A and B are shown apart, each in its own frame.
Chain A
Amino acid sequence: MTQNNRIAAGGRVDRSQVLEFTFNGQRYQGLKGDTLASALLANGVNIVNRSFKYSRARGIVAAGAEEPNAVVQLGARDDTQVPNVRATQQGLYNGLVARSTNGWPNVQRDVMSWVGRLGGGFMPPGFYYKTFMAPASMWMTYEKYIRMGAGLGRAPTESDPDIYDHMHHHCDVMVIGAGPAGLAAALSAARAGARVILCDEQEEMGGSLLDSRETLDGVSASRWVEQTVKELGAMDNVTLLPRTTANGYHDHNFVTLHERRTEHLADTAREAGFPGESRARLHRVRARQVILSSGTHERPLVYANNDLPGNMLAGAISTYIRRYAVVPGNSLVLSTSNDHAYRTALDWKEAGRKVVAIVDARANPDSDLVRQARDNGIRVITGSAVIEARGGQRVTGARVCAIDLDRFVVTGKIEELECDTIASSGGYSPVIHLSSHTGTRPVWNEELLGFVPGKVKGMHAAGGVAGHYALSETLADGARAGRQAALESGFNDAQEIVLPATRARRDAPACALYQVPHEKSALRAPKQFVDLQNDVTAAGIEVATREGFESIEHVKRYTALGFGTDQGKLGNINGMAIAARCLDRSIPEVGTTVFRPNYTPVTFGAIVGRHCGELFDPERYTALHEWHVENGAEFEDVGQWKRPWYFPRMVNGKKETMHEAVARECLAVREGVGILDASTLGKIDIQGPDAREFLGRVYTNKWAKLDVGRVRYGLMCKDDGMLMDDGTTSCLGENHFLMTTTTGGAAGVLEWLELWHQTEWPELQVYFNSVTDHWATMTVTGPDARKLLSELTDLDLDKEQFKFMDWRDATVADVPARIFRISFTGELAFEINVQANYAMHVWKKLFEHGEKYNLTPYGTETMHVLRAEKGLIIVGQDTDGSVTPEDLGMQWAIGYDKPFPWIGKRALSRPDTRRQDRKQFVGLKPKDPSVVLEEGAQIVFDGKQSIPMDMKGHVTSSYYSASLKHGFALAVVMGGHERMGQTVYIPMTDGTVHEAEIVSPVFIDPKGARQHV
């Protein structure tokens, strides 16, 4: 195919660079500087998609972000697929491959189209809700087939070869849109010295100036654009971001920008010649002031069959002609409500094609552009509009008739004009989407016949979006806004800038025209489309209002108006106007729906940035991590920490299973000596004369008499009496304590202490500091622990000199160490703390000396089994925020008679916490010793009752004990403390019911003799 619609001269394309591309399997040629849309139009491609609901043929309508139809699937390979790309925003590159997202088997011949052809009666608004309503469980099935027919693009099935990243910015003035207003604003603010970011979503900056018929300072407007962009680019305080869409405007002037960095050059960054660079970048901008110069979208008219390929926005046609040197047809009828659209007819004529007529809804339009059209011999039909387009796969004619807008009827005789293109313009809608993201409501402006942005703190709407449509006004408004923004950012000597001279033009006022009347009622006339992307018709809105949907938000949800990736760019105002007419209200009374981020679709890659793969989340390592890796540890995630889970060994050439490894590790600790890296436990250094008093207030138990050199276990509750954390605290000095917390609770507990200190008891003299990372902690535990450690330390480990729950300063392997005699295993245990930079040395020395004792490294799984055998809880596993210390049977750790009303005390006397049938912590011994109950399984008292069963508790921890040679579990059971020896039942989803006996949670060494040796 050749580029039949390409004009020989003009435009901003480079005719020396011919680019090959493929659309729906067909090969085409375009030029450097084309968008995919302009290249398709150059090649005369009429149908680019099938519509979402009725499967009607659709062509390109617009030239920018507002394009509803030409939404394509991009990518040559499966790993480079990108759905939902607007062809109008996709720069053309050599080798580009795109397909329609809708239409199967192809857009020319679509199997779904019978649905659409049978007419609207089959698919009224709410069709899906009404038809597929029951049974609800089938919706997923229905949806699958509806989606197959509708085709909304597809996600890639292979991993993306490209990377995406983020960049944070701060600036004084963020200018959104580099049209005339944005450029003038940026120039004003930048010359004042402000830090300015200027972004624009198009391939080039300049906006409407790039296809304007007007001149600035006597030369083409695009020349002024070049000069201005050059000046801005040379300034240190300016960041220019072309090809960058401002997609979200969030609280406190936070704007997210989506920069397309290589996607206009090739399928991947590597193919584009930028290997390793990001394909797209999300800029996160915090701006003091935002200038919204997003311009306007032209509003199409709503007439019958206005969705046939060949129906286009007037301004888009001018853009294609003047910017891309593409004239998308041969003979044009223009239907307009305003002056500005006249330039399309002039552009078309200058391109050497036929203008059949301009149909103007106004009775007596008289202005410079109208005269210019008439002077060029163009027929102008006044007081009329195109009421219907004719054609099948493409427009073949226009039915034109005089209309009476007050009575909303056609008057007089209908004239049929032959043409292949109908341009329409119903005026301009300011692009208020971004301002709406902030939650502000748009304000209707009767003079403009459009909504303008509501007030946003720190935002200045400038130019077209603020309703300034004449070029001179737009420039002046931009310059004003730029200076104002600079002043408000503190640049007090911001000056007015000299603007280029424009030629004065006399315009006539536009008339209000949205839906064009037809000789038949909206329900009987051919479909008049309001929202092309969501297949919403004027009749649909009429039906919705008739069925009682009066709120525009309800109309939107019932009809799908303004849904999806389109966000109502072309259709919203027309839809509201139609709803207003049907409800006999004014447009401002009907109001507008809310536009939500994002303005155009953003690829997930850009949202994720580099927070993926190995950088998805921080992995926290202890000082001994390398040893664990080298010794084959399997790791478990505990919060962000990587902790060794277990250390499988090779046995007879086979790697141990977790079960085998854990059994071996457990026995080693119970019978010999094991070692655990416990560095992840939270550690908080507490200093100050009131440290002891503070501990007494935040822990449930007593601290008044803990001597220097001693350690105590403590429980921490919230003020609702529920356990939040536990750990040991050591008295290092009269004014000095070291608190340990759970691994996951470390940050939370520190903040908790600060909270109470800062907000309730600031008079207490105490400071808290995290020393979690400073210390590495190694737990040496088991009957042989003393023998091993005594080889490496200068400390007297005699059990009378260094008792259970003592701590001492010492050296271990010649490194200063603080040793705690505390036990989480029930065995003799020493927790050795050294400054983390020396941890590897000490750890390796322990192994050198430990070989003869078969020193066995163990991980978290073994730690869990060992502590569970002793009935020691893990906060967050055996508790869940609804468990009191009493529920745990830990009355011994509650100091009810402490003088200060400590945190949680009062709540423990509430009726609810005193209930006898609270879930209480117990042990469970399965009747079948081989059974290991499932953690989380529900417990019932009667295993034979019918479903739903009466649930009485649940299993919180469950393991197989190599020492006991049977499975065992910890659980919470209603009134469990009084039910010792009773049998409970644990029904499983597969129908089996396990039996277990309620026992004490302490399965091994109930007297605690082993840890005291």
Chain B
Amino acid sequence: MFYIFCPYCKEHREEEEFHARGQAHLMRPADPDNTTDEEWGDYLFFRNNPRGIHHEMWVHSVGCRKFFNITRNTVTYEILETYPMGEQPTITADIPSVRHEQGVQAADGGWQTVGARPESKALNEETSS
């Protein structure tokens, strides 16, 4: 059960007030008629599934009914920020300090501190890319 800060209601609310609506920042091609089948298929069906930092769209369905975005760690489930539609995240997997602090591998297979030997520095270094 997440506890989610709604950027419009300006307070934390229980997860049961929200619905998750998948990956954030999907762009509908501006000119669908002139996209290739492959491009259109990518837009319709292909989504990221990163281990670590992920940006998701949620809607405060039992509440203000507004859509917004969440930056969430898919391993620890920690919510790092929420921000209104139209804004960009301030925390991304590309920021080295975030990767280090969050201690999980980003999409390219970086850091790893979960597993049998959580405190093992050697393990982390072994799997670093």
Q: Which residues of A contact B (CB under 8 A)?
A: 250-254, 286, 439, 441, 443, 454, 457, 551-552, 588-591, 719-720, 751, 754-755, 758-760, 762, 901, 905-907, 910-911
Provide a sorted-by-A list of 11 A–B residue pairs whose CB atoms are within 8 angstroms: A252-B77, A253-B3, A254-B1, A439-B75, A441-B116, A589-B117, A590-B116, A754-B67, A758-B66, A901-B33, A906-B32
CB distance from A898 to the nearest CB of B (A): 11
A254 and B37 contact, CB distance less than 8 A: no
A906 and B85 contact, CB distance less than 8 A: no
A901 and B79 contact, CB distance less than 8 A: no
Contacting residues of chain B (1-42) with chain A, CB-CB under 8 angstroms = 1-3, 14, 19, 21, 28, 31-33, 35, 37, 40-41
CB distance from A696 to the nearest CB of B (A): 15
Query: How many pairs of A and B residues are in contact by the CB < 8 Å rule?
Result: 77
Would you give the 0/1 interface string for B65-95, flagging 1 where the beta carbon is closer than 8 Å to chain A? Answer: 1110000000111110000011000000000
Instruction: For B78, give the chain A residue with the smallest CB separation.
Output: A457
- Among A551, A760, A906, A911, find the residue whose CB has the most chain B CB atoms closer than 10 A: A906
Cβ contacts under 8 Å, B115 to chain A: 441, 591
* 8 closest cross-chain pairs (CB), A and B: A591-B116, A906-B32, A252-B3, A441-B118, A901-B32, A254-B1, A758-B67, A251-B77
Cβ contacts under 8 Å, A443 to chain B: 118-119
Cβ contacts under 8 Å, A251 to chain B: 1-3, 77
In Å, the complex CA distance between A551 and B116 comes to 9
In Å, the complex CA distance between A772 and B79 comes to 35
Contacting residues of chain B (106-123) with chain A, CB-CB under 8 angstroms = 114-119
Q: Which of A286, A720, A755, A911 contacts B59 (CB 8 A)?
A: A755
A439 and B32 contact, CB distance less than 8 A: no
Cβ contacts under 8 Å, A754 to chain B: 59, 65, 67
Cβ contacts under 8 Å, B119 to chain A: 443, 588
Cβ contacts under 8 Å, A910 to chain B: 37, 40-41
A759 and B1 contact, CB distance less than 8 A: no
Cβ contacts under 8 Å, B19 to chain A: 751
Cβ contacts under 8 Å, B65 to chain A: 751, 754
- Among A720, A759, A910, find the residue whose CB has the most chain B CB atoms closer than 10 A: A759
In Å, the complex CA distance between A755 and B67 comes to 7
Q: Which of A441, A720, A905 contacts B44 (CB 8 A)?
A: A720
Cβ contacts under 8 Å, B21 to chain A: 755
CB distance from B40 to the nearest CB of A (A): 5
Q: Which residues of B contact A (CB under 8 A)?
A: 1-3, 14, 19, 21, 28, 31-33, 35, 37, 40-41, 43-45, 57, 59, 61, 65-67, 75-79, 85-86, 114-119
A907 and B2 contact, CB distance less than 8 A: no
A759 and B57 contact, CB distance less than 8 A: yes
Q: Which of B1, B3, B118 contacts A454 (CB 8 A)?
A: B118
In Å, the complex CA distance between A452 and B32 comes to 56
In Å, the complex CA distance between A720 and B32 comes to 12
Cβ contacts under 8 Å, B3 to chain A: 251-254, 286
B67 and A759 contact, CB distance less than 8 A: yes
Instruction: For B66, give the chain A residue with the smallest CB separation.
Output: A758
B35 and A906 contact, CB distance less than 8 A: yes
Cβ contacts under 8 Å, B41 to chain A: 910
CB distance from B38 to the nearest CB of A (A): 10
Q: Which of B40, B75, B117, B118 contacts A906 (CB 8 A)?
A: B40
Cβ contacts under 8 Å, A439 to chain B: 75-77, 114
CB distance from B51 to the nearest CB of A (A): 13
Q: Which of A252, A253, A588, A760 contacts B117 (CB 8 A)?
A: A588
In Å, the complex CA distance between A758 and B44 comes to 19
If A755-B21, A905-B33 are given as contacts, then 17 extra A-B residue pairs at C-beta distance below 8 Å, sorted by A number, are: A254-B1, A254-B3, A439-B114, A441-B114, A441-B118, A457-B76, A457-B78, A590-B116, A591-B115, A755-B59, A758-B85, A759-B57, A901-B33, A906-B33, A906-B35, A906-B40, A907-B44
- Among B1, B31, B77, find the residue whose CB has the most chain A CB atoms closer than 10 A: B1
In Å, the complex CA distance between A910 and B28 comes to 16
CB distance from B10 to the nearest CB of A (A): 17
B14 and A286 contact, CB distance less than 8 A: yes
A719 and B28 contact, CB distance less than 8 A: yes
Known: A252-B1, A719-B44, A759-B67. A591 touches B117 (CB 8 A): yes
Instruction: For B115, give the chain A residue with the smallest CB separation.
Output: A441
CB distance from A903 to the nearest CB of B (A): 9
In Å, the complex CA distance between A906 and B30 comes to 12
In Å, the complex CA distance between A286 and B11 comes to 14
In Å, the complex CA distance between A457 and B77 comes to 11
In Å, the complex CA distance between A751 and B63 comes to 12
Cβ contacts under 8 Å, B61 to chain A: 751
B77 and A552 contact, CB distance less than 8 A: no
Cβ contacts under 8 Å, A720 to chain B: 44-45
Cβ contacts under 8 Å, B118 to chain A: 441, 443, 454
Known: A589-B117, A591-B117, A910-B37. A252 touches B59 (CB 8 A): no
Cβ contacts under 8 Å, A591 to chain B: 115-117
In Å, the complex CA distance between A751 and B67 comes to 10
Cβ contacts under 8 Å, B117 to chain A: 588-589, 591
B67 and A907 contact, CB distance less than 8 A: no
In Å, the complex CA distance between A907 and B41 comes to 9
In Å, the complex CA distance between A907 and B40 comes to 8
B1 and A751 contact, CB distance less than 8 A: no
Cβ contacts under 8 Å, B14 to chain A: 286
B1 and A762 contact, CB distance less than 8 A: no
